[in-house]
């Protein structure tokens, strides 16, 4: 194992020992998962917000896809991870804040992002916190923006009832068996308004 990867793994494991519910895994995500969760993102996507970047595995994949660091906002609640991210991605916008407080932060001079990439452990969160995160994330994105979330569980970590409540829909885009543990990636977007039926009156 390379020294950099070993250092990241040790830092990740230490953070997990201190707060397992906040970290949600024993080691950083693998390269295959990073490639899958960023697979639909390109320079055409525009600005990117990353939630829970940890040691920056997904961030590195975004940069490899041509995303300029200055067009990436990193939202990380762990101070040790923040220090490493600032050192590793010095031109990105790094914020040491809980993702549930996204509404308090102004990104990119108010411009809206094209996508949010999330490494957050949603399965360990309360519905109230998930709502705060999703509300904040979609408020920071363009109407056609996509929220990418991975999970180690068998289905989307955002319950269907919660998606319905927020007017969102989730689509599975792939599964990585070689990740430790295996992970699945979902794309979450706003639902399109239901077309009015023939003869239906709108706005009454």
pLDDT computed for residue 31 by the predictor: 87
Check whether 126 has a pLDDT greater than 90. Answer: yes
Q: Any idea which of 21-25, 31-35, 126-130 has the lowest mean pLDDT? A: 21-25
Question: How does pLDDT run across 91-111, given as a tens digit for each residue?
Answer: 999 999 999 999 999 889 999
Question: How does pLDDT run across 146-189, given as a tens digit for each residue?
Answer: 999 999 888 999 999 999 999 999 999 999 988 778 899 999 99
Beta bridge partners of 175: 184
C-alpha distances in Å from residue 154, one per residue of 52, 171, 183: 21, 13, 9
pLDDT above 90 as % of the chain: 67
User: Whose CA is closest to 80, among 105, 55, 104, 63?
Assistant: 55
Q: What is the DSSP letter of 102?
A: G
User: Whose CA is closest to 122, among 137, 111, 108?
Assistant: 137
pLDDT computed for residue 1 by the predictor: 37
Q: What is the chain's mean pLDDT, rounded?
A: 86
């Amino acid at each position: 194992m390379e020294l950099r990867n070993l250092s990241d793994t040790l830092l990740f494991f230490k953070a997990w020992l201190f707060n397992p519910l906040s970290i949600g895994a024993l080691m950083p995500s693998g390269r295959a998962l990073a490639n899958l969760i960023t697979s639909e993102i390109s320079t055409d996507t525009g600005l990117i917000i990353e939630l829970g970047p940890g040691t920056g595995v997904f961030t590195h994949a975004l940069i490899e896809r041509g995303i300029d660091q200055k067009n990436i906002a990193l939202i990380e609640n762990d101070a040790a991870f923040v220090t490493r991210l600032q050192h590793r991605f010095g031109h990105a916008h790094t914020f040491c804040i809980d993702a549930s407080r996204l509404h308090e932060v102004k990104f990119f001079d108010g411009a809206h992002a094209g996508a949010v990439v999330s490494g957050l452990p949603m399965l360990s969160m309360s519905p109230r916190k998930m709502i705060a995160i999703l509300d904040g994330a979609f408020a920071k994105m363009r109407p056609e923006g996509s929220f990418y979330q991975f999970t180690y569980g068998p289905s989307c970590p955002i319950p269907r009832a919660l998606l319905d409540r927020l007017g969102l829909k989730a689509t599975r885009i792939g599964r990585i068996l070689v990740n430790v543990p295996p992970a699945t990636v979902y794309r979450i977007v706003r639902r399109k308004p239901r077309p009015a039926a023939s003869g239906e009156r709108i706005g009454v």
